[in-house]
């Protein structure tokens, strides 16, 4: 599946800084949709949407600390 990437400007990263970055979106067999925001400061947010409707979300601070790692059931 092709990965699409979109450049963004002036978004608030998980650390609170307003930075630019890249938003990647792709699909694979395991997850229906994967959204991946990579902020220029190094912070990262990943979101997986699964076939059963559940959504997994992971937020990593640019210093390496995992701020959020959760799975939300789709029902
Ligand atoms: Zn950051």
Ligand 1 mean position, distance from CA 30 (Å)? 28
Q: How far is the CA of 70 from the centre of ligand 1 (A)?
A: 19
CA of 17 to the centre of ligand 1 (A): 6
* pLDDT, tens digit (0-9, with 9 covering 90-100), for 23-55: 999 987 777 899 999 999 999 999 999 888 899
pLDDT tier, 1 (very low <50, low <70, confident <90, very high otherwise): low
Measured CA to CA, the distance from residue 53 to residue 17 in angstroms comes to 31
Closest CA to 73 of 52, 49, 54, 51: 54
Picking from 51, 44, 47, 1, the residue whose alpha carbon sits closest to that of residue 26 is 1
Q: Which residues fall inside 5 Å of ion ligand 1, going by CB?
A: 13, 15, 41, 43, 62
């Amino acid at each position: 599946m092709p990965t699409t990437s979109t450049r963004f400007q002036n978004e608030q990263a998980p650390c609170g800084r307003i930075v630019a970055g890249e938003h990647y979106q792709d699909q694979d067999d395991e997850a229906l949709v994967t959204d991946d925001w990579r902020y220029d400061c190094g912070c990262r947010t990943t979101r997986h949407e699964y076939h059963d409707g559940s959504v997994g979300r992971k937020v990593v601070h640019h210093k390496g600390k995992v701020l959020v790692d959760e799975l939300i059931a789709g029902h």
